[in-house]
Amino acid sequence: MKRGISILLICLLSAALYPQSSRLPNLEKKRKEALERVEKTTQMLSKNKATTKNTLYRLNVLGDQIKARESFLNDLKKELGIISAEMYEIQKEYSELSLNLSVKKEQYAKSIRLMSRRNKSEEKLMFILSAKDLSQMTSRMRYLDEYAGYQRVQASGISRKQTELSEKRLDLETAYREKEAVKNKQAQEARILEKERGDQTNLVSQLKGKEKQLKVELSKQKKQAEQLNRQIENLVAEEARKAAEKAANDKTTVRKADTKGGYAMTVDEKKLSSDFGKNQGALPFPVSQQGTIIVHFGEQKYQDLKYVQNNSKGIDIQTRPGASAMAVFGGVVSKVFALPGFNNSVIIRHGNYLTVYANLSSIYVKSGDKVKIGEAIGKIFVDGEQNDLTVLHFQLWKDTQRLNPELWLQKR
């Protein structure tokens, strides 16, 4: 579909304001990508028993859904603005073309009326023969020929303007249909959002009714998480100490830490660390099947559940029974251990980066093993008491610093 120069400019402006999409099909794709994962997880969680722990997970996932849908509605609002701007430009061009066409038609009509007076062959002949001399006669013959050519050009110009006008009319109709489609989608998504907010309110009410049990559950989870983090911190400190000792005693191997008190790396480990760092935002998801984050990194707050507070050092990923934990990058297994609440855990070193895979029912690797990216390292625990709830706890460290894994993993 062709557009005028001003339409091209408005499209470029639209792209600058809204780079990902300026058409409903692309927005729809974006919506699906944003909501498909959490909706599938909601379905899985809905099948589970309505335990306090499960209800809190569902509240997390529903909160993600609501944020994603609110973002999509905001995108639709931007899309309406873009289409309205396009329609304004098209309407403006349509009016200009209409006026231009009217002027050309009027000019053409005048020329037709003028020539109609001299339309007869004998009148044309008399007009030529009445010339004073040969030079004037030649000039009149050329004038008549040029005027006939002018009429043909005018007629052709009118035809082109009529075609352009028809194209602009079609452009305007297309833009109108797009605007109506976006408005309809906006209304549909607003209804779904209203329902989700109602579901969120119901879940909060359920949790308020189980405040005592929830506090007990969260206290238990907090203690287990602290135990896991102490284990990781002890490992980090111990490996940093051993690497420092090797650096001091072994003069044949170059070892160097990026930060004071950090892990002293060999040349090969330094390269591995550098390669790992270059893959921020590109690491594969650490589960073999479809997975959705149900607990995010950092402090978890709930506006209507002030007593519910948690500070996660990693992320929890809900997946399907039978799924395995997968190494997100090549490295060496540093430690394999077991802890209450997290079952078995594996820590893999990638230079001075560490990845942690917790809540495994069985382990496929041992300390010292070299693993490749995408290699299965253990089967994720399936909680029979929670109707086969399958959750991997995943952490990412650099030396002694905890990192947000979501910033390092590919978007799914």
The CATH number assigned to the domain holding 246 equals 2.70.70.10
Transcribe 168-222 into DSSP letters. HHHHHHHHHHHHHHHHHHHHHHHHHHHHHHHHHHHHHHHHHTTHHHHHHHHHHHH
- As a whole number of angstroms, the distance between CA 302 and CA 310 comes to 10
Instruction: Give per-10-residue mean pLDDT for the chain (412 aa).
Output: 36 36 59 66 64 81 85 84 81 74 66 56 60 72 66 65 73 80 87 90 84 81 89 91 85 78 90 96 95 87 71 91 97 94 95 96 96 97 88 95 95 74
Query: Does residue 117 fall inside a structural domain?
Result: yes
Q: Are residues 271 and 190 in the same domain?
A: no
Q: Are residues 23 and 158 in the same domain?
A: yes
Among 156, 173, 208, identify where a domain stops.
208
Q: Which residues pair with 347 in a beta bridge?
A: 335, 356
Q: Are residues 13 and 156 in the same domain?
A: yes
Q: Are residues 289 and 333 in the same domain?
A: yes
Query: Does residue 213 fall inside a structural domain?
Result: no
Task: Report which DSSP code applies to 255.
Answer: -
Residues near 91 by beta carbon (within 8 Å), at least 6 away in sequence: 172
HSE-up of residue 225 (Cα within 13 Å, Cβ side): 19
Q: Are residues 62 and 91 in the same domain?
A: yes
Q: Are residues 170 and 254 in the same domain?
A: no
Q: Which residues pair with 356 in a beta bridge?
A: 347, 395
pLDDT at 177: 82
Please give the span between the terminal C-alpha atoms of the chain, in angstroms, as a whole number: 33
Query: Does residue 216 fall inside a structural domain?
Result: no
Query: Does residue 281 fall inside a structural domain?
Result: yes
Domain with 341 in it: 227-407
Instruction: Specify the residue for token string 């509240």.
Output: 59
Domain count, the chain: 2
Q: Are residues 197 and 236 in the same domain?
A: no
Among 180, 208, 236, identify where a domain stops.
208
Query: Does residue 287 fall inside a structural domain?
Result: yes
Among 143, 178, 208, identify where a domain stops.
208
pLDDT at 360: 97
Query: Does residue 219 fall inside a structural domain?
Result: no
Q: Are residues 241 and 366 in the same domain?
A: yes
Query: Does residue 326 fall inside a structural domain?
Result: yes
Q: Are residues 254 and 194 in the same domain?
A: no
Q: Are residues 68 and 133 in the same domain?
A: yes
Q: Are residues 157 and 185 in the same domain?
A: yes
Q: Cβ–Cβ contacts within 10 Å for residue 157, how many?
A: 16
Q: Are residues 144 and 282 in the same domain?
A: no
Query: Does residue 222 fall inside a structural domain?
Result: no
**3-state SS, residue 405:** helix
